């Protein structure tokens, strides 16, 4: 019998002998590799943390003791040891096991997490109100490059002995760690006695585990940490991707593994190539990212223009504020950050970029809905939280060719700008491409003048669905116009004024509240006119959206082609 199949709860881990624990680790790795290579997910980060998680469950008593997984992408072994092995084949699928901790999924998950550097702050709160529980935060895998982690560490010294921070030190984020922090960690490892003495003067205990895949050594360290009278840091040296050769050799590629290879270049690739070509001709073009060089498509730029490329680690707020400094110095910075992580830098976008009206361009990858990762990674909020800010424009290219054109145009735009596009590739909505001009949409004027209904689609995913819906209705003889409303801000008010009292349907790759459709409605409500079109809005409602493939999420949320056709038919 596979030993993993005999483990239904953490209590079963405590019953195993030492040799069985090593076998359990091997079986957990086999299970993770098999499922992730089929479903996609976080592979190398989880493989490197297997023994740490086994030791946590061996020593402590979860769920009485609270386990917090920073970022959340190191939790697969935890899920397998807490009764979810049988359903693990459904990982990241609609209605299945989440790739991140989720409280509604299991009592063993004490916090829903999916973004970096939050665990120590969560620990500080939980440890204060759960004095009879050990609160254990597993951080590392790059999360110590985020500023919030240090805000938590600053507060950690005021806690009691129930607070334990495990640093999984594998030298990596998604890409290799950069900056001061890796050097500090290396220094601690070179002289752990000095580290223990130095941190002791600050009110912290420190334990270093050199053999981070030795379950016995880990258990011994965690037992010592559990007996400490003050907060304890357990520093563990591990290998990212441990036990699976390809992931050990290329842990960045296998960090977030996708089982499907796209034949066409992704929009991330298109962006990266376009920006690199722009930098070939313009020495003022700089690129900045937050530990996402590969994911944002900037590997080529970094190789060709290393003196103008900056990876600041998982530190989005710093990336934006630093880019403001570049712009103040006369440069043209492009900040490539996933939509869901851009919200982590909101104050800097407001205070340092928009108020100063600086020409910083935010290249928001993974905009719209994304497959697999669930609610913590949906890129549907940025239009709403940026549209209200001064000076910024929001450009949503419909396809690869328009994204390339947007990058070319953006270099001459002297104000804050967001260019947003989804993960992967999208089918072209149609072949027409007009020059990018701020606040001007792409449409056929005659088509709009003759139409009974006008569809305003904002975003690549929405354009693809809306164009297909409009095409099907035209074949039935209906007079429906399609407009690529590529600027969510500013609006093309000249076009809006032409629509008079006809029916308008807006479709967007974002939330309805505060979004593009609401902006259209508000424009008509404030306009000095007695003629108002009827405006209906399709987008993502207030709430969380299910895990699944993009098409499944669109169908569930009624933002797909079928929902668009139905909305237009309702006005027939």
Q: In 3D, which of 138, 129, 189 has the Cα closest to residue 160? A: 129
What is the pTM (predicted TM-score) of this model?
0.91
DSSP string of 360-398? -EEEEET-B--SSS-GGG-B-SHHHHHHTSSS-EEE--S
Active site residues: 240, 316, 344
Element (DSSP H or E) covering residue 79: helix 76-80
Q: In 3D, which of 533, 467, 473 has the Cα closest to residue 503? A: 533
Whether 559 has a pLDDT exceeding 80, the answer reads yes
**For 104-186, where are the E strands, in sequence order?**
135-140, 163-169
Whether 301 has a pLDDT exceeding 80, the answer reads yes
pLDDT at 172: 66
Mean pLDDT, to the nearest integer, of 266-289?
97
pLDDT at 261: 47
Dist CA 507 CA 131 (whole Å): 50
CB-based contact 547:376 (threshold 8 Å): no
Whether 222 has a pLDDT exceeding 50, the answer reads yes
pLDDT at 428: 73
Dist CA 559 CA 59 (whole Å): 48
| Tens-digit pLDDT profile for residues 486-532 | 999 999 999 999 998 899 999 999 999 999 999 999 999 998 887 78
| Tens-digit pLDDT profile for residues 122-165 | 999 999 999 999 999 999 887 888 899 999 999 999 999 999 99
pLDDT at 5: 95
Q: In 3D, which of 447, 372, 362, 457 has the Cα closest to residue 406? A: 362
| Tens-digit pLDDT profile for residues 160-187 | 999 999 999 987 655 566 677 777 888 8
| Tens-digit pLDDT profile for residues 88-119 | 999 999 999 999 999 999 999 999 999 999 99
| Tens-digit pLDDT profile for residues 343-386 | 999 999 999 999 999 999 999 999 999 998 889 999 999 999 99
Dist CA 552 CA 563 (whole Å): 13
| Tens-digit pLDDT profile for residues 460-484 | 999 999 999 999 999 999 999 999 9
Dist CA 150 CA 501 (whole Å): 56
pLDDT at 488: 98
Sketch out the chain's domains with CATH numbers.
3-242 (3.40.50.970), 267-420 (3.40.50.970), 445-569 (3.40.50.920)
CA distances from residue 392 to 343, 349, 357, 388 in whole angstroms, order as listed: 15, 10, 8, 9
3-state secondary structure string, 427-464?
Answer: CCCCCCCCCCCCCCCECCHHHHHHCCEEEEEECHHHHH
pLDDT at 482: 97
CA distances from residue 174 to 86, 257, 544, 558 in whole angstroms, order as listed: 29, 11, 26, 34
């Amino acid at each position: 019998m596979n030993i993993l199949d005999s483990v239904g709860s953490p209590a079963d881990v405590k019953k195993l002998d030492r040799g069985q624990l090593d076998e359990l680790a091997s079986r957990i790795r086999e299970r993770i590799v098999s499922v992730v290579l089929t479903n996609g997910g976080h592979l190398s980060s989880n493989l490197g943390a297997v023994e740490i998680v086994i030791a946590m469950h061996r020593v402590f008593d979860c769920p009485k003791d609270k386990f917090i997984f920073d970022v959340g992408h190191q939790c697969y072994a935890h899920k397998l040891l807490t009764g979810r092995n049988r359903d693990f084949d459904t990982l990241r699928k609609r209605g299945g096991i989440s790739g991140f901790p989720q409280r509604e999924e299991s009592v063993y998950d004490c916090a829903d997490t999916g973004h970096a550097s939050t665990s120590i702050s969560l620990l500080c709160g939980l440890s204060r109100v759960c004095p009879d529980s050990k609160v254990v935060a597993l951080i590392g895998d790059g999360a110590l490059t985020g500023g919030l982690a240090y805000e938590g560490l600053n507060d950690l010294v005021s806690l009691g002995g129930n607070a334990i921070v495990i640093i999984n030190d594998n030298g990596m984020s998604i890409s290799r760690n950069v900056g001061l922090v890796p050097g500090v960690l290396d220094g601690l490892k070179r002289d752990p006695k000095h580290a223990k003495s130095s941190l002791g003067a600050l009110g912290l205990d420190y334990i270093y585990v050199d053999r981070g895949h030795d379950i016995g050594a880990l258990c011994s360290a965690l037992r010592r940490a559990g007996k400490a009278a003050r907060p304890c840091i357990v520093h563990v040296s591990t290998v990212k991707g441990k036990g699976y050769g390809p992931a050990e050799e290329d842990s960045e590629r296998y960090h977030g593994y996708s089982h499907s290879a796209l034949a066409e270049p992704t929009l991330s690739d298109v962006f990266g190539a376009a920006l690199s070509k722009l930098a070939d001709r313009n020495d003022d073009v700089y690129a900045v990212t937050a530990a996402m060089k590969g994911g944002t498509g900037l590997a080529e730029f970094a190789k060709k223009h290393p003196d103008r490329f900056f990876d600041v680690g998982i530190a989005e707020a710093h990336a934006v504020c630093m880019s403001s400094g570049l712009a103040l110095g006369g440069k043209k910075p492009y900040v490539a950050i996933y939509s869901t992580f851009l919200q982590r830098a909101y104050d800097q976008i407001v205070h340092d970029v928009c108020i100063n009206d600086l020409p910083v361009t935010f290249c928001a990858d993974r905009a719209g809905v994304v497959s697999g990762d669930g609610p913590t990674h949906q890129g549907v909020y940025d239009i709403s939280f940026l549209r209200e800010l001064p000076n910024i424009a929001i450009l949503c290219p419909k396809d690869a060719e328009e994204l390339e054109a947007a990058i070319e145009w953006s270099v001459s735009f002297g104000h804050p700008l967001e260019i947003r596009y989804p993960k992967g590739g999208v089918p072209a909505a149609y072949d027409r491409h007009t020059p990018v001009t701020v606040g001007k949409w792409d449409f056929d004027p005659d088509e709009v003048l003759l139409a009974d209904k006008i569809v305003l689609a904002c975003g690549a995913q929405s354009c693809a669905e809306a164009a297909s819906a409009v095409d099907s209705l035209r074949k039935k003889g209906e007079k429906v116009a399609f407009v690529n409303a590529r600027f969510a801000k500013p609006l093309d008010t000249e076009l809006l004024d032409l629509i008079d009292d006809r029916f308008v349907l807006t479709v967007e790759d974002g939330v309805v509240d505060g979004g593009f459709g609401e902006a259209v409605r508000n424009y008509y409500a404030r306009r000095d006119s007695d003629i108002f079109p009827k405006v209906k809005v399709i987008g993502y409602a207030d709430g969380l959206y299910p895990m699944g493939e993009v098409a499944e999420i669109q169908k569930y949320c009624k933002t797909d082609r079928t929902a668009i056709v139905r909305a237009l038919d309702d006005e027939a």
